[in-house]
Structure 1
Amino acid sequence: MPDTVPSANVRTTRVVSSDQLRDLLAETGATVRDSVRLSELTTLRVGGPALLAECASTDSLVATVKTLDAADIPVLLVAGGSNLLIDDAGFDGVVVRIATTGIDLAADGVLAEAGAPWDTVVADTVAAGLGGLECLSGIPGSAGATPVQNVGAYGVEVASLLRRVHLLDRKTGEVRWVEPAELGFGYRTSVLKHSDDGVILAVDFALDPTGRSAPLRYGELAKALDAADGETRPVDQVRTEVLRLRAGKGMVLNPTDHDTWSAGSFFTNPVVPAERLPEVMAAITAHVGDAKVPTYPAPDGTKLSAGWLIERAGFAKGFPGEPAPARLSTKHTLALTNRGAATAADIVALARTVRAGVAERFGVTLEPEPVTVGITL
C-alpha cells in the first residue's frame, strides 16, 4: 500500500450526540452509528471511537456533508481508510463514511463512484481489456481517494489517466465536473490534499481499449515481464506480475499477515533540490561508502529512495524487533506496521525514530504519506 490513498477531509467546530445526529440527518439517507472504533475502518487498525454516518449513495453523501457543514459540525471523510493515521482518542465529531461503490465501464474508460474499492476498479478494467490502470493493481483504498494524492506505482500515476473528477465544493455547495488541469497534480500531491473544501464524488479515467498496458517504465516490473523500457504487455499479464511483486513486499492486504497492517509506504521518496544534492551525497558516502545510490529525476530536483535511506540509516526490516507492537515490515522497510496490538502512539513513536535517524545521518527529512487526524508527527 505504498501508494495508498488519503481519504480524509477534516473540519472541526462543535459536536453533537448520536440522537441529535440522527434527527439532523433523518432526510439525508445516511445510516448513523455511535461509538464506532475507527481502527475498524483503517488498514493500520488504529484509531479511537467516533460517531459514524454511512452514505451508500452520492445523493446521500452530498446531502450529509452539506447538512453537517451548515450546522458547523466537525467532519472526517473516510472511504477505504488505507492512508489514515487517527489518534487513539478518536475523532470529536462525525465520521462520514463514503460507501458508494458503482463502477461503470465504457469502451474507452471507466467511471467509478468515490467509495468503490480501488483494486476492484482496476480488476474490472483489466477483465474488460482496458489498459492503463494495471500497474496500480493491489493498492488498497477507494477510487475517489486516488486523485487526492496522485497515487502512483510502477511508473504510472493517476494524473496521467484521469479524465475528470466529480466534485462537491463545500464552500459554495456546487457539484460539478472538474478537469485535471484544475487539480494541481504533483508527486504524491494535488490541491485536494491540502484543503478540505472539495469532496470527490466520482472519478473518470480514459483507458486504452486495445488490451495493452501502459508503457512499462519501472525497471523491476519491466525486468519481470522481460520488457524493454517503454514496451507494453497484455494488461492481464501486467496485473498478475504487479500483484506478485506487491505481495512479496507485504503490500497486498491480508488480515492474517501483520506486514500488511499498515498504511503502505509511510514516507514519500524525498526530492532533494539541486543546490543541496552534493551535500546529501557526501553525507551518504561518509556513512555508506562508495555505494550506488538510486536516484530519479524530478521537476524540483533529484528524487531519492526513502526505503534505501531508511535501511542505510541502520533500520533493518522488522525494526525494532519483538516485542514492540509497532515495527517496520519484515518485507519492506518503508512500511510501518501494527503487529496486532499497536496504538497510534506506538506508530508515531516509530515514525519519529526512523525520521530522526535518516535526518541525522544524511541530512534528509522524510515526509509522511498518510493523512494524520489528531496527531502531529
Structure 2
Amino acid sequence: MKLWPAQPDVIVVGLGPAGSRAAAAAAAAGLTVLAIDRRTTAGWPVQCAELVPRMLDQELPDLAPVTMQTTSRMLTRVDAAAADETAPFPGRMLDRAAFDAWLVRAACDAGAICRFATPLGGVDPDGSVRINDVSFRPRLLIGADGPRSRVGAAIGRVNTDFVEARQIAVDLAEPQDATDIFLSAAYPGGYGWLFPKGRVGNLGIGVNQASRGSLKLLLQALHDRLAAQGRVGGIIRAMTGGPIAVSGRLHPVGALGGVQVLLAGDAAGLTHPISGAGIASAVQSGALAGAAAAAWLGGRAGALLDYAEEQADLFDASLSRALHRRRELAASGADAAALRRAWIAYDAYWAELSP
C-alpha cells in the first residue's frame, strides 16, 4: 500500500465517478494525488437509478462489463393516460457499484492514492485539508463530494434546491427494453420511474423538498399499482434514496488561502434539474477537472478559467432549458399539457422557450 504524501499536489474529496475520473487524469499527468471517500466501499450504497445515456460510450468505451442491460425506448405515462412511446431512446443500466469500483481501479492504476472509510475532517480557510486528524495542504483541491459538498461550501458554492428521491429494487415479471416514466401532479417537482436491470427493476419517485414527507406512501402506492398489474413482484429487495441537486450549475473555480479549488459533478451543480441525471456529467467534468489541475500546476495560468468555460460550453444550454421548464411547471400548475412540456421525451420540452 502506498504511503500518503506529506504534501500532495492534488487532494480529491469524493470517489464517485467525478472524483475517480479527476484523480485518474491528474495522476496520469504525473501529479501526486490523494483521493478520499467517507464510504467504506466504492459505489455503495447505491444512491441513483443507474441509467446512463448510451452516448457515455464516447467517454468510456468499455462499459459492457459493468452494464446490466441496455434499453432502447422510453414509455412515459401521464397520470392514467396510455403510455407515450419515445423511440429510439437508448440507454445503459449500470451495476453502479461495479462501475464506481472500475473507475477507482483506473485511478489507482494511474498512480492515485485512493482511500475509503476516510472522511473529510474539514477544509480550513488557508486551504489546508484535515483527514484523520492530520492536516494536509495540497497545491490544488478538487471537490467531488456530492450535492451537499463540504468543499463547495468552503468556497461559498452551495446547491440550494433539491429533489428528494426514494427507490426500491423489485422483481420484474418479465424482462423489458424500455424505461418507464410516471408523471403526475401527485409527484410535485419530480416524477416516478421503473428502470429494468434484467429480472430486477429500480422503482422510485422523486419530489420537491416540501413534499418529501409523502415519499414513502407515494412509492408504496406506485409499487402496489404495478404489482396489481402483474408487472412487478411485491417483495422489496433493496431500498435507497437521497437528495438530488436541481438548482443548476455553480461556478466551479475558487481559492482558499492560495490553494486553488475546483468542483466537479454534483458538487458543481451539474445534475439535470428535470431528469436528475448526473453520472455522465460527473464523468465528463471529473476528467476535465483532473486535466485542468495538471495543466495549471504545469504552468498554464489560464487552465482553471478554461475549465470553467468548458463546463459552461458543455452543460449550460441543457441545464438552462431544464431550469426554465422547471420554473414554468411550478408556476403553471401540473396539468397534463404542463407535465408533458416539462419532460425530456416530448417535443414540447424542446420547443422555443417563452420569455
Please give the range of the TM-score, normalised by the shorter of the 2 chains. under 0.3
User: Per residue, is there more helix in 1 or in 2?
Assistant: 2
User: Per residue, is there more strand in 1 or in 2?
Assistant: 2
Higher RCO structure (Cα 8 Å, ≥6 apart): 2
